[in-house]
Structure 1
Amino acid sequence: MGAKCIMIQGTSSSAGKSVMVAALCRIFAKKGYSVAPFKSQNMSLNSYTTNENREIAMAQVLQAEAAGVEPSHHMNPILLKPKEDFISHVIIHGKPAGDMNFYDYQRKLRKRALKAIKESLDNLREKYDLIIIEGAGSPAEINMRQYDLANMEIAHLADADVILVADIDKGGVFASIAGTFMLLDKKDRERIKGVIINKFRGNLDILMPGIREIEKITKVPVLGVIPYDENLKLPEEDSASLSERKYKNKGKIRIGVLRLPRISNFTDIDPLEYEKDISIKFIEAEDTLHGLDAIIIPGTRNTINDLLFLKENGFHDEISDLKDESLIFGICGGFQMLGKKIIDEARRESQHGSIEGLGLLDCKTEFTGAPKIITQSQGKIIGQGIFQGLKGVQVKGYELHEGTTILGDSRPLILLKRGCGNMPGKKLDGAVEGNIAGTYLHGIFHNLKFRRYFTNILRERKGLEKIPYDIDEFKNNTRFSLDRLAETVEKNINLEFIEKLIESDP
């Protein structure tokens, strides 16, 4: 039968399923179990390239890190990345399967998706002692039950005991728990063995009468109440979290990140938050760019549509006005926008066809219909322009993009040892010209030397003291947050109950 499976489902989106899986992965890995996370179908804007050169959701990467194992595409066999209205980019086993709406996905790919889920689950069960599965949304979405590939259908497939997580911070926690049970049929309901109440602020004694009553109603125990911890900083999964995401904003150096309508991989920005003197703000349509020391154009699910958004909201002119005084940096789609033109004659990227870019870098990008680039990448900084002081410094990241970029007079940023970069076979990535630069490498700011050099340029321009390249506060914080999360969960739940579930016959 293979590994035992435990599944974490939620009463709603953002109930805390992802972090609960990460916590349990950490806890049981430290107890000596060989643990792997699993999410059969994930809809996420933040993704990552594994060592297999396969694309999976960032949440499963974090969970794998918590478990102390290498991320694999088997941990997230189906990834749906929203691209345009009602259209998602479908990824199966880490490779593109096409862009389609929900109806076509269910009609044309459901059997293939379910087969991929079974294959991945079987693969993990052969390699690990324990699989901790994350659900999606809520199992009580009764309009979707017949199409389910993420909740109770997977619990039955894996023969997994389910623990239901409920978010108390938004209110109505007991109604959400009772309502979930009421809307499930008997077979599904019997899978749930316990409930965890998450994000609690307040006096537990006041909550206890409600806990005793909900246990009578559901006939399952409440296994714990997890306190809300505002000090935890872990990667977010989707753009809904951006409304709640608060970067520090008290530094003397102001970095603005354009909040594109179709923003993706915004976790690229997270390491900058741990840089001294830095203040980060997501720039909305009504905001101004003036007064910013640096502007970052992040990745996007649709370069052309988001470029049109920038133009329609006046950002094109503002960015051009600031090109001589502010650092302007583009990542992936943001890099493509900085060029002179985006060529899409076949309308593969959008229905708008070819359009003019921001014109700040002498390059052009063409969508040719070639296979999507999915690869881990590494190389060294060539040392052109403002990055001349980084010449020879090694960097690594990962690529997830379509389109090839041809440079004119702008100089390349990175000489690649591994990866694709601007064009297949050329081993050159990105571009730099004056204060403007861009790269296809997601995770570029996760490289301490690159990040610190970038922010030291800003410090020097502000008359602030440069910071040495010694301590990586971002890496240290991620490690600290995972350990703290695991300790908090272990302290506040009935872990013995969960261990008995695990030790029962699979």
Structure 2
Amino acid sequence: MGDGHGAAEEARVSGLLVAGTTSDAGKSVVTTALCRAFARRGVRVAPYKAQNMSNNSMVCHGPDGRPAEIGRAQWVQALAARAVPEPAMNPVLLKPGSDRRSHAVLMGHSAGDVSSSNWENGRRHLAGAAHAAFDDLAGRYDVLVAEGAGSPAEINLRAGDYVNMGLARHAGMPVVVVGDIDRGGVFAAMYGTVALLEPADQDLIAGFVVNKFRGDHGLLRPGLDDLERITGRRVFGTLPWDPGLWLDSEDALDLEGRRADGEAALRVAVVRLPRVSNFTDVDALGLEPGLDVVFASGPRDVADADLVVLPGTRSTLADLAWLRSRGLDAAITEHVRRGRPLLGICGGFQMLGRTVTDPEGVEAAPGSSAEGLGLLDVRTDFTAEKTLRLPEGEALGAPASGYEIHHGRVTVGAGAEEFLGGARSGNVFGTMWHGSLEGDAFRAAFLDRTLGHGPSGTEFAAARERRMDLLADLAERYLDVDALLELAREGAPAELPLLGQEFAR
């Protein structure tokens, strides 16, 4: 089960790996919280995730000044760390296009596809690049807070792992395991995670963090004491459930609406495409008072909406077919016929045009094509070359900015006018700019024009900062941050007990 990375243990760096018992256990939350808490102490800290599998990404600048693409979660964690986001913080980004194939982004730029059939060979190449990026970051920052992926106890994948224990072994880095108690079974999951690992991996598991606890901590304490006694490892704290903690999401596991208070709220229906990407585009709408943001998957869900949003997608043609199979195409067309506004973003915008073609097989089979919804006079042609931009401009009388990540090339016809890298006709708006609604001035102008929703004074960037500070405040109160920082600097304790070796062979 070893991976040959142990030789680097003698050159241990100051860092901490935040692993999880499962996906969505809270790794991103804890990593973000520690980045901000360490930064508050004057530590030069940076986030890192060797491999992220997500269709939520962001554009930053690479060391050569060119635009580059990284996972949205690492971009946010860099802000929490008060560091400049860069590709080395997420050297490998896999963007799923189907159950068996993902588009690979290596150090911020397209690197072809990785499929289940070439997974092992592909990972060896990616592992070397990921660990080189980690070593580079480690030479420029005091402490790295690395986020794992899934669970480190996926023993069927351990031989090629470079994201969890493979990374920890590469760097001689201690590991804390996060468990989501809200799901139930957290004690068994934490013990089992350690027990399934080989001895050299167990030597780096320093302790645990419990996430999403609700209720009387006195009832939890006996279980924590037993976990510490049985495993010989410390519980570094218990983070409580807090509804104000939502951050820019990494994936669709926590895709939920943002509900407004009161019955008079305007309803925003965001179509929940199967391969949705960059759905953080609507986060800013969720912060607006008086807007009720819900995710829609059927015609009924959009029937009474005041505004419909078609978000981005990793597979425009496949999700366009899904839209039609559910009757959402007719429901959206009826919504527009009734004079109500519609906003399409990136792939969602491309669906609103006359045709979508993929001659080179970028997202679908070569030569694939389909008619769009015909609500905008545009056509989209997919090409292998990927566009990464950080554009700025003006729309609806307000300054606007965003970021572009796409393969599709859009041609605007005479029946539409240009709009934020896209097109507009009447109350139908289409843009290629992700993140444009995060701009307070543009968002206010758009909502006023489409919904008569007056300026609320909501400042999105300030709200994000408050959420990161809230995370750090909770970490300071409920976790032993000083002990975790010392752990990152000093490494895992010596002679940790070995668990469950009847399983780890």
Q: When the two structures are superposed, what TM-score results if normalisation uses the length of structure 2?
A: 0.90
Q: Give the match for residue 67 of structure 1.
A: 81
Q: 1:502 aligned to 2:488?
A: yes
Rounded Cα–Cα distance in structure 2 between residues aligned with 1:2 and 1:73: 22
Rounded Cα–Cα distance in structure 2 between residues aligned with 1:289 and 1:500: 52
Q: Please give the residue correspondences for 1:247-266 in structure 2 after superposition, counting only pairs within 5 Å.
A: 247-248=259-260, 250=262, 251-266=264-279
Alpha carbons of 1:467 and 1:497: their partners in 2 closer, same or farther (altered >3 Å)? closer
Q: Give the match for residue 357 of structure 1.
A: 372
Q: Does the CA contact (< 8 Å) of 2:32 and 2:77 recur in 1?
A: yes
| Structure 1 residue 209, shift from structure 2 partner | 1.2
Deviates more, 1:6-15 or 1:278-287: 278-287
Q: 1:7 aligned to 2:21?
A: no
Which of the numbers 49, 53, 69 marks the counterpart of 2:59? 49
Aligned-partner residue type, residue 160 of structure 1: M
Which of the numbers 458, 464, 467 marks the counterpart of 2:455? 467
Q: Does the CA contact (< 8 Å) of 2:378 and 2:410 recur in 1?
A: yes
Percent identical pairs in the alignment equals 39
Task: Describe the superposition over 1:158-215 as per-residue Cα deviations: whole angstroms up to 9, x where unpaired.
Answer: 2111111111111111111111111111111110111111111111111111111111
SS at match of 2:16: strand
Larger RCO, structures 1/2 (Cα 8 Å, 6+ apart) = 2
SS at match of 1:169: helix
Two-structure CA RMSD over aligned residues (Å):
1.8
Q: Give the match for residue 323 of structure 1.
A: 336
Q: Does the CA contact (< 8 Å) of 2:127 and 2:162 recur in 1?
A: yes
Q: Give the match for residue 502 of structure 2.
A: none
Task: Describe the superposition over 1:41-69 as per-residue Cα deviations: whole angstroms up to 9, x where unpaired.
Answer: 11112100112311111110110010011
| Structure 1 residue 230, shift from structure 2 partner | 1.3
Q: 1:486 aligned to 2:478?
A: no
Rounded Cα–Cα distance in structure 2 between residues aligned with 1:279 and 1:246: 6
Rounded Cα–Cα distance in structure 2 between residues aligned with 1:288 and 1:167: 31
| Structure 1 residue 495, shift from structure 2 partner | 2.5
Rounded Cα–Cα distance in structure 2 between residues aligned with 1:444 and 1:288: 25
Q: Does the CA contact (< 8 Å) of 1:253 and 1:458 recur in 2?
A: no
Q: Give the match for residue 35 of structure 1.
A: 45
Q: Does the CA contact (< 8 Å) of 1:51 and 1:376 recur in 2?
A: no
Which of the numbers 445, 449, 473 marks the counterpart of 1:453? 445
Rounded Cα–Cα distance in structure 2 between residues aligned with 1:2 and 1:380: 49
Q: 1:58 aligned to 2:72?
A: yes
| Structure 1 residue 499, shift from structure 2 partner | 3.0
Task: Describe the superposition over 1:275-314 as per-residue Cα deviations: whole angstroms up to 9, x where unpaired.
Answer: 2221111111363422211111000000001111111211
Q: Give the match for residue 401 of structure 2.
A: 396
| Structure 1 residue 105, shift from structure 2 partner | 3.2
Rounded Cα–Cα distance in structure 1 between residues aligned with 2:198 and 2:187: 19
Which of the numbers 225, 228, 239 marks the counterpart of 2:241? 228
Q: 1:25 aligned to 2:35?
A: yes
Q: 1:216 aligned to 2:229?
A: yes
Rounded Cα–Cα distance in structure 1 between residues aligned with 2:257 and 2:171: 34
Aligned-partner residue type, residue 144 of structure 2: I
Rounded Cα–Cα distance in structure 1 between residues aligned with 2:162 and 2:29: 21
- Contiguous gaps of at least 5 residues in structure 2: 1-10, 493-505
Rounded Cα–Cα distance in structure 2 between residues aligned with 1:249 and 1:431: 33
Aligned-partner residue type, residue 474 of structure 1: F
Rounded Cα–Cα distance in structure 1 between residues aligned with 2:184 and 2:258: 21
SS at match of 2:245: coil
Task: Describe the superposition over 1:130-160 as per-residue Cα deviations: whole angstroms up to 9, x where unpaired.
Answer: 1010001111111111121210000011211
Task: Describe the superposition over 1:198-256 as per-residue Cα deviations: whole angstroms up to 9, x where unpaired.
Answer: 111111111111111111111111111111111223111111211x5554475521111
Q: Give the match for residue 381 of structure 2.
A: 366
Which of the numbers 76, 86, 96 marks the counterpart of 2:110? 96
Which of the numbers 275, 285, 295 marks the counterpart of 1:272? 285
Aligned-partner residue type, residue 326 of structure 1: R
Q: Does the CA contact (< 8 Å) of 1:410 and 1:431 recur in 2?
A: no
| Structure 1 residue 414, shift from structure 2 partner | 4.3
| Structure 1 residue 459, shift from structure 2 partner | 4.0
Rounded Cα–Cα distance in structure 2 between residues aligned with 1:44 and 1:168: 24
Q: Give the match for residue 169 of structure 1.
A: 182
Q: Please give the residue correspondences for 1:177-196 in structure 2 after superposition, counting only pairs within 5 Å.
A: 177-196=190-209
Rounded Cα–Cα distance in structure 1 between residues aligned with 2:211 and 2:74: 20
- Contiguous gaps of at least 5 residues in structure 1: 382-386, 416-428
Q: Does the CA contact (< 8 Å) of 2:131 and 2:167 recur in 1?
A: no
Q: Give the match for residue 282 of structure 1.
A: 295
Rounded Cα–Cα distance in structure 1 between residues aligned with 2:56 and 2:379: 26
Rounded Cα–Cα distance in structure 2 between residues aligned with 1:170 and 1:245: 20
Q: Does the CA contact (< 8 Å) of 2:308 and 2:342 recur in 1?
A: yes
Q: Give the match for residue 426 of structure 1.
A: none
Alpha carbons of 1:236 and 1:249: their partners in 2 closer, same or farther (altered >3 Å)? farther
SS at match of 2:320: helix
Q: Give the match for residue 426 of structure 2.
A: 434
| Structure 1 residue 413, shift from structure 2 partner | 3.4
Deviates more, 1:222-231 or 1:94-103: 94-103
Rounded Cα–Cα distance in structure 2 between residues aligned with 1:121 and 1:341: 43
Aligned-partner residue type, residue 408 of structure 2: G
SS at match of 1:212: helix
SS at match of 1:330: strand
Q: Give the match for residue 405 of structure 1.
A: 410
Which of the numbers 189, 198, 214 marks the counterpart of 1:201? 214
Aligned-partner residue type, residue 477 of structure 2: K
Rounded Cα–Cα distance in structure 1 between residues aligned with 2:309 and 2:116: 32
Aligned-partner residue type, residue 146 of structure 1: A
SS at match of 2:414: coil
SS at match of 2:268: strand
Task: Describe the superposition over 1:335-367 as per-residue Cα deviations: whole angstroms up to 9, x where unpaired.
Answer: 111110112234332137111011011111111
Rounded Cα–Cα distance in structure 2 between residues aligned with 1:327 and 1:56: 32
Rounded Cα–Cα distance in structure 2 between residues aligned with 1:344 and 1:35: 43
